[in-house]
Amino acid sequence: MQRLIKGRINKLGICVILLLSLLVGRLVQVQLISTESFTDQHINLIEASVKQRTQSLVIDEGRGRFIDRNGLPLTHDYFPSVILFPFLNGLDWPKEELAGILQMNASEIDRLLVDADKPVVLSESLTDEKMEQINELDYPGIVALYRQFELDEKIAEHVIGLTGEDVDTFMKRYADKVEKENYSPHTPIGVSGLEEAFDEIILPEGSTKLLYHVDRFGGPLFGIDVRYMSPSNPYYPLTVQTTLDRNIQQLAEKTLNEYQVKKGGLVVIDIETNEVIAMVSKPSLDHENPSKGAGAHNFMLEPHFPGSVFKTVVTAAAIEENVVDNEMVFNCDLDIRGNLLEDEKKRMGTINLETSFSQSCNYTFGEIGKQLAQKDNDALDKYAAMLGLKGTVGWKGDMFGFDDFVQIPSEKENVVWDNDEDKGVPLAVAQTSIGQKDVKVTPLAVANMMATIARGGESKEVKLVSDILYKNGTTLFTFPEHERDVDKLSSYTVMQLQHLLREVVEGDTGTGWRMKGLSYEVAGKSGTAQTGKFTEDGPELLNRWFAGYFPIQSPKYAMVMVELDVVDENNVSSVYSKMVQEIYNLENQER
């Protein structure tokens, strides 16, 4: 019996020792080994412990921000603020002096502090002189500084993009940063737009904050000293200087809202630099569910049927390949199949190339397309590429530490043919020549085409970002201009295209007549494309376009406006005209 009891005691002792070993092992893991990456959730136990016994106020999240071409903020800005910490309650502090500087009642300050359980931020109209006076009070718990705030108005949301917390994606992108640099996998990352494209270089190294230690009742633990904590590198976070003009961007957003454009958008490009000045996509983002629905798409970077806008490419090819001249005439009473048009109002009679382009006769361009295909069945591909309507047009190249960097990764490819065999089918060639069949192009690419023509045929990649700046405003990297690696149209062809685009607006029967008489003279091409999609009631949905540039005497802006999947709506001309006039007013107001 005694031996049995002794055996049981030994077994119990072994179990106790094993249990204690497990507990000690777990303690070692928590206290020494996994302090900065605990469990598969990668919890930083040191940070969690500090967070539990401190109160803090974030001054700067540490993520890089975006500004426009003139240095105006697009996402965040720094505003003068006075910070008051809750422990001031019950202390004899220079409240009256502060109230005098802020020109407010001391009782109002008391009211704000009395029930405060976290720092109180006063963002009054502070000057640098007032901030200096406040800091000269030299009392712990009263701080005047510039604090980062998110702008109330959301500007260029589809372009700038969104950030969000995504542990799995963070670990895929930045596993090394978690393991070697103590990054938290809960750090917000860019999930769309420029936030995603430039995520790695604007990722926060850490936030700047004011903090103090508290006991379990919220009182100061180690006196009333407030600590200022910030990342050690004074050059970070970086700032991304976009090519956008905030004033024109806001003008574009306001105009599309005013005309209640449901789906579509607008792109404006600086012709000289080939930089995007404004880009708006509709519908707007749904902030309740930003990754779902049509609002999650930037339709300015997605391809759509262009309709007659594509006739610009066919015309360029026809002139360059000498398959047509202005003496040739076409029977525009016929459709692209050669049948008499049923609607007499659509019959245009026998007209030449210039009038066909101005009035947008489908028969003419179907015939020209077939002549081009007989000479070279890759002709439409070739000239679409020269004018930027094939592949992508966004800036790509080497950026410090990044090979083959792409500024606009969400830009989709432009398409002329889905099936090369169709290049030998006359009807397919005719349909392609009027911007139907498989032809799909992005509004960005169409705006780039107009900029190329206005510039004299020089084809460049499109930029959305011009510079990367250090925190102090000095330049870290400038994105150079890139010419596209394509053949260039002859100056004669470009000159003819410029004339034809002008006649679309100025001609007596041109489809762009609504743009006539604006303060800036406009050249351009309209387009209406069938989509193959129908409403429940039967009518087919259409894409309506106008693409052009202005002012024609000294071209400065290329602009595209498109409404997608519409039936009766036609806001394109109205929006385009309003934008031209407002840009004119804006420029003359600045002078």
d(CA 16, CA 21): 8
* CB-based burial label for 120 (10 Å; 0-12, 13-18, 19+): middle
Q: Residue 398 contacts by C-beta under 8 Å, 6 or more apart in sequence? A: 404, 405
Instruction: Report the half-sphere exposure of 503 (CA within 13 A, side-chain side).
Output: 16
Inside any domain, residue 571:
yes
CB 160 within 8 A of CB 66: yes
Closest CA to 277 of 161, 451, 410: 451
With respect to residue 367, please indicate whether it lies within any of the assigned structural domains.
Answer: yes
Q: Can you state the angle between helices 95-102 and 106-114, rounded to 10 degrees?
A: 110
Burial class, 363, CB count within 10 angstroms (exposed 0-12 / middle 13-18 / buried 19+): buried
Spatial contact of 367 and 361, defined as CB atoms under 8 Å apart: no
Tokens of 12: 């119990």
Q: Give the separation between CA 100 and CA 453, rounded to whole angstroms.
A: 62
How far is 256 from 278, CA to CA, in rounded Å? Answer: 12
Is residue 210, in this structure, part of any structural domain at all?
A: no
Q: Which residues contact 117 (CB under 8 A, 6 or more apart)?
A: 86, 218
Backbone phi, then psi, for 243, in 5-degree steps? -90, -5
Q: Element (H or E) spanning 371, and its range?
A: helix 362-375
- Cα 86 from Cα 56, distance rounded (Å): 11
Residues of the chain with pLDDT under 70: 1-4, 25-55, 124, 213-225, 590-591
CB atoms within 10 A of CB 566: 20
Residues with catalytic roles: 308
Domain assignment present for residue 135? The answer is: no
Rounded Cα–Cα distance for residues 199 and 203 (Å): 6
d(CA 100, CA 513): 63
Residue 577 inside a domain? The answer is yes
> For the CA atoms of the chain, what is the radius of gyration?
32
- Please report how the helices 572-590 and 246-258 are oriented relative to each other, as an axis angle in degrees rounded to 10: 150
Q: Which residues fall within 8 angstroms of residue 476, CB to CB, at 6 or more apart?
A: 238, 400, 467, 468, 469, 470
Q: Annotate 132-153 with b (16+ C-beta within 10 A) or e (fewer).
A: ebbeeeebbbbbbbebbeeeee
| Helix (H), strand (E) at residue 14 | helix 2-28
Domain hosting 566: range is: 246-289+298-590
- Residue 416: both structure tokens together: 């002329």
- What integer pLDDT is reported at residue 589 of this predicted model? 84
Q: Write the CATH number for 545.
A: 3.40.710.10
Token readout for 200 is 């790695």
Q: How far is the C-alpha of 282 from the C-alpha of 297, rounded, in Å? A: 8
| Structural domain count of the chain | 1
Q: ∠ at Cα 51 (50, 55), nearest 5°?
A: 110
Say how far apart CA 574 and CA 295 lie, in whole Å. 23
**How far is 525 from 359, CA to CA, in rounded Å?**
10
Q: How far does CA 69 lie from the centroid of its chain?
A: 14
Number of CB atoms found within 10 A of residue 303's CB: 19
Q: pLDDT (tens digit, 9 = 90+) per residue, 15-43?
A: 788 888 777 766 665 565 655 555 655 55
Domain contains 548: yes
Q: In this predicted model, what pLDDT tens digit does every residue of 278-316 receive, in sequence order?
A: 999 999 998 888 888 999 999 999 999 999 999 999 999
pLDDT for the residue 41: 56
Cα 126 to Cα 79, 150, 258, distances in angstroms: 9, 18, 35
Cα torsion 430, 434, 437, 440 to 10°: value is 140
The CA distance from 259 to 256, in Å, is: 5
Predicted confidence at residue 12, as pLDDT, reads 79
Cα–Cα distances (Å) from 542 to 512, 528, 560, 590, in that order, read 18, 7, 16, 39
Give the integer Cα–Cα distance in Å for 556 and 269.
8
Is 77 part of a structural domain of the chain?
Answer: no
User: Residue-wise over 487-505: b if at least 16 C-beta within 10 A, else e?
Assistant: eebeeebbebbbebbbbbb
Give the pLDDT confidence of 445-486 residue by residue, as tens digits: 999 999 999 999 999 999 999 999 999 999 999 999 999 999
How far apart CA 134 and CA 333 sit, in angstroms, is 81
Q: Decide if 90 contacts 104 (C-beta within 8 A).
A: no
The whole-number pLDDT of residue 221 equals 47
Cα 256 from Cα 575, distance rounded (Å): 7
Packed helices 362-375 and 426-433: angle between N→C axes, nearest 10 degrees: 120
Q: Which amino acid is at 167?
A: V
